[in-house]
Amino acid sequence: MHLSEGCIHQFLQDHKTRFAKRTMEGYETTIKQLLTFYEKPFNEISSVEIRHWLIYLGENGLKVGTIINKVKGLRLFYYYCVEEGFIKDNPIEGVPYPKEERKLPYYLTSEQLLRLRDLCKGNLKQRAVVEVLYSTGVRVSELTSMKLKDINWPERKIRIPMGKGEKERLVFFTKECAEHLKVYLGSRNDDLPFVFLNRNGTEPFSRYSIVHWFRTFRENLDFYLTAHTLRHTFAANLAMKGMSLSCIQVLLGHTDFQTTQIYARLHQKAQKEMYDQWM
């Protein structure tokens, strides 16, 4: 058996229990593509040649995410070859991952949001949950632990006592949200402190139940949707209406401003649209 074939076979055998079958098939394809491209064994391929091959893939339309996966496979393979003593110097060590362009956050259009609301008609709790997630931008974990005592109805704001990062903050909600939330709460006859309860009305609503809801929503709609999509939609709408990123950061409860930067391009888009309206 040829050296390259033997090493690849041994590599695949030693890693088949650590990774999914599809992942390993992808790594095998990557290694063989590289060897075929240069028509030489793996131990004769240099770092420069690997870089050039990756550039070639990008110039021929391969997506950055796919190229990153190929680099991961090559890294794993070459590190294995060094550990097993097949090669002394690792050619992939100095090859960086290509930078993946940060995409705009996925959010719902106004039409999609309307369709989601229509889908929840008749279910008081679902309608209230959707409205709270959308109008406040809270995380699912914050929604499931939300308590009645933390709602300030006159000022339409909710205290989030200990969100992610152990940082308290205030979020606000719309008049429409207030209406649906009051209707849902008015349908209950318990004295439990939580805003949303489980099906039996005995415990706080669970994260699993929300995940299940949104999986069902996706099956009835023709667009992708999770509970977190509503958090993105909340932030995206504020950004496109011109709210400063620092304010959005506070409302979302981001401790790191860099996390909020994903909405910067939406903010710039909104500024351009406002400029075009005035000029």
Among the options 27, 184, 263, 267, which is catalytic? Answer: 263
DSSP-assigned states of every residue in 202-269: SSBPPHHHHHHHHHHHHHHSSS---HHHHHHHHHHHHHHTT--HHHHHHHHT-SSHHHHGGGHHHHHH
First vs last C-alpha separation in the chain: 72
- Look up 263 and say whether it is catalytic: yes
Among the options 70, 127, 169, 231, which is catalytic? Answer: 231
- Look up 115 and say whether it is catalytic: no
Among the options 32, 117, 228, 265, which is catalytic? Answer: 228
Q: Is 229 exposed, middle or buried (0-12, 13-18, 19+ CB in 10 A)?
A: buried
Among the options 164, 199, 212, 272, which is catalytic? Answer: 164
Among the options 180, 232, 254, 267, which is catalytic? Answer: 254
Take residue 200 and report the two structure tokens written for it: 């039996």
Among the options 70, 125, 127, 139, which is catalytic? Answer: 139
With CA atoms as reference, report the closest residue to 163 among 58, 45, 249: 249
With CA atoms as reference, report the closest residue to 65 among 18, 37, 26, 35: 26
- Look up 228 and say whether it is catalytic: yes
Q: For residue 159, list its beta bridge partners.
A: 170
Separation between Cα atoms, residue 14 and residue 181, nearest integer Å: 55
The conformation of residue 92, written as its DSSP 8-state character, comes to T
Separation between Cα atoms, residue 214 and residue 124, nearest integer Å: 15
- Look up 167 and say whether it is catalytic: no
- Look up 212 and say whether it is catalytic: no
Q: Which residues of 88-116 are buried (b: 16+ CB within 10 A; e: fewer)?
A: eeebbeebeebeeeeeebebbeeebbebb
Helix, strand, or coil here: 151?
A: strand
Which positions are annotated as active-site residues? 139, 164, 228, 231, 254, 263
